[in-house]
Amino acid sequence: LADELGLLVYEEPAIGWIEKSQWMQARCEREVREMILRDRNHPSVVVWGMLNETGNAGYRIKGGAQLIKDELCVLARSLDPSRLIIDDSGGVNATKEPARFMRPYHDVLEPYDDLHVYQRAPVDHEIESYYRHNGDPQTLVFLSEFGFGGMEDLESVIAQYGEDAGKLKDARFLEAMLEAGRKGFEERGLERVFTDFAQFAAATRELQSDAARYQIDALRSNTKLGGYCYTQLADAGHEFCAGMLDRWRRPKPVFKVLADVQKPLRPLIQIPRVNLAPREEVPVTVMLANDERFEGRVDLSLQVVGPTNQVLWKKKRSINVSRGNREIWSGNVSASGSPGTHKFVVRLQAGFKVVAESAVEFMVFERPESADVEIHVLDPAGRWAEACASLAKRTSANAPVHVIPPLANTIRAYPEKDLFSILSAVKGGAVALFFGTPNDWNDLAEQIDPGILATSKDAVGAFLGIYHYAKLHPVFDGLPARGLMRQAYRNTIPARSFKELSDEDICGSYDTSPIAAGNYMVGATDWWGSDILVRRFGLGRLVFTHLRVLECLGSDPVADRLFVNMLKHFSRRALPAADAPALDVKALEWLRRERTDNVRHWKVLGMFPNWGNNGHNQVFPPEQDISFDAVYPGWYKAISWKSWFSRIQDEHLIDLQEALTPVYEYYPRFDWGTAYAYAEFTSERRQSVRLRLAAQDSMKVWLNGNLIHQSVAAPPLGQLDRQTADSFVRQGRNTLLVKVSKMPGEFRFSVNIDSAEKEPVQIKWWR
């Protein structure tokens, strides 16, 4: 099939993480032998892989086929001298051992940087930058797994299986999936958006095509990358939406996209923003992928094409093309004054023949007029109110609409008095818009009213996609709606959704990942989620969303319009509550105790580069000076300090992967990086202390500027390296700086302080 389609293939045998025995070893060797003897005459096969990411997700460590992978590689080499051989694609995730490869006609295994990087769709600028800069500059880099899944046509597949009795078992779980999908589809009234579930699945395949186009263009701009492998050839088993073909080997739309974006000569367009206001300018850079090392003089043609297909701007010049990837043009282009879809088109022409061409779309939106709505913004740090006030009337706490920004990663860090004042107003008839609701909101909701539960769940997606829909609704006036959220929403797409069904369904998500855990028979709530969750509370409404609206105000016209539309829509039902009923004092006291006693405030910064694990010994700016207003160049994006809170419920464990970046993956991050965390506390007296430290990576700790601990660790997946360090705290203000440098895998640490004396330690953490 690959020969016919013109694909290059990476192939692994059907072996896994089995118990080691003489019989099992013989079985593994037989599978490798059969695979290579069967397929070594196919020119499409370019890489033999023995194993895949062993030790990940609870798989057996230092057991089974892992113990014989060297022998399997030697066996593969004896059967085929000419192809690349990989021992463990992605490396041993649990122990952080690197992947190794054998060069053709060599029998020595060499370590290299093998990445598995699954990113969401729509694809934003940070994801593109992540692809462009990933990989150790000093080591061979291969991206052996990437991609974003698009659902196959389940109804068609089931019909095919129905004719094949041998596939009846598969058909049963596919029918269960389809039943769960249809149930949520009907509950949300999505037949008005997609007609039927088959049309919804077709839309997910178009989103898969979008992801492949943007991701591969970014990958081809990465001069460090030796190669990449799209996951995967065809849908099968739990990966029922990952392939470029369905399980019956019928091409999906992404198959044509892959052929187009991987042409040997292709202009690669880099544009930081795809949502513009009328006549707004945006910088553009054009690189050239030149895999066949084309050389010669060509004409470079640049055009901006408007919504009615008219050419709004054009430029043409002669350039000399040399070998390799290089920049061929950079400058600014402008949007027209007309809203709609625009294209920036790049062509290379030799005479009258177009030898290479690519284009990127950008959208032009009218800036919304300020909403004639009075709002109150809960903003104790003064970060959000100004941007909100530019699009509404900011007034006192008696406003009919309250805006609660994403103040912290835990509800326990929210200002309890102000928050309860807002909740009281909602109960009396006001509306509160909660943006970036913390994952532990339900801990507070259960203290107040179980009817306002808002259970957050992951809504990112990877090779098993998660797809977000937008209805034709006042919240989406003037924006793309009645379909899936595509590239126009790349900045505002939510990272999390809600399990509950909204009182008013506006937009939501469909998650195909439960099947990866074997949950074929789960209910619709596990597959579907609400991106805007509306809950009644007393006479008013609470509106929860993870849409990244406030973070993008002023920089993205889509975010501006979403904010104004939400204010207009929900203000119609809002009343200023002059005599708002008081809430339960016990709940208020609970939150006050939690905030005072059980959370700690940190500032976190990252990631700086840590290629080859060398960043841990490199001195980065925080080790010389702490400046919370500074912006530093990270390894793939500009970075600055941000607030983060640890909780006593988690033993004050901080997940730096969650704290530092909106770039997500299906597995723990396959990258390298260095991060810092800073906190302050006061002590009533000078005292000897013992710090209890835990980390999954190399760690350094400075107390009051003195380095008191350093360690190099790489514990297995899910485990922490726990150590102690003795020091002393001084009376008054103390500072704590932690440096953590990660290898591929999880990125967590904790610091707790105990007394080293008879007297208990008396410290108060920075708030």
SS in 3 state form for 457-507?
Answer: EECCCCCCCEEEEECCCHHHCCCCCCEECCHHHCCCCCCEEECCCCCCCCE
The per-residue pLDDT for 568 is 97
Quote the pLDDT of residue 525: 64
Backbone angles phi, psi at 269, to 5 degrees: -95, 125
Dihedral of the CA atoms 548, 550, 556, 562 (nearest 10)?
80
pLDDT, tens digit, 9 for 90 and up, residues 435-444:
999 999 999 9
The answer to whether the predicted template modeling score (pTM) of the entire model surpasses 0.85 is yes
286 close to 329: Cβ distance less than 8 angstroms: yes
Length of the chain: 767
C-alpha to C-alpha distance for 229 and 111, rounded to whole angstroms: 18
> Measuring CA to CA, how many Å separate 680 from each of 196, 370, 498, 764, 765?
56, 41, 35, 9, 6
Query: Are 306 and 276 within 8 A, CB to CB?
Result: no
Q: Which residues of the chain register pLDDT less than 70?
A: 16-23, 55-64, 94, 162-170, 325, 515-525, 578, 662, 664-669
Pairing of strands 466-470, 483-484: antiparallel
Round to whole Å and give the CA distance between 396 and 122: 38
pLDDT of residue 57: 45
Comparing CA positions, the residue from 290, 305, 296 lying closest to residue 353 is 296
Write down the pLDDT at residue 18. Answer: 54
Encoded tokens for 610: 């840590």
pLDDT at 8: 92
Alpha helices in 375-440 (DSSP H): 385-389, 416-427
CA dist., res. 455 & res. 496, Å (int): 10
Strand pairing report for 374-377 and 393-394 = parallel
3-state secondary structure of 593: helix
Q: What are phi and psi of 496, to 5 degrees?
A: -140, 155
Three-state DSSP class for residue 320? strand
Question: Judging by beta carbons within 10 Å of its beta carbon (0-12, 13-18, 19+), is residue 12 exposed, middle or buried?
Answer: middle
Position 664 scores a pLDDT of 66
* 546-to-89, 418, 509 alpha-carbon distances in Å: 34, 21, 12
- Burial of 156-181, coded b for 16+ CB within 10 Å and e otherwise, reads ebbebbeeeeebeebbebbbebbebb
Location of structure tokens 């895998």? 745
Q: What is the DSSP string of 250-312?
A: PBPHHHHHHHHHT-SEEEEEE-S-SEE-TT-EEEEEEEEEETT---EEEEEEEEEE-TTS-EE
Quote the CA–CA distance of 444 and 177 in Å, as a whole number: 34
The burial of 649, by beta-carbon neighbours within 10 Å (0-12 exposed, 13-18 middle, 19 or more buried), is given as: middle
- Measured at the CA of 207, the angle between CA 202 and CA 208, to 5 degrees, comes to 95
Q: Which pLDDT value is given to residue 518?
A: 57
Separation CA 124–CA 491 (nearest Å): 6
Contact in structure between 717 and 692 (CB atoms under 8 Å): no
- How far is the C-alpha of 185 from the C-alpha of 195, rounded, in Å? 10
Cα dist. 382→385, 388, 389, 538 in Å?
6, 11, 12, 29
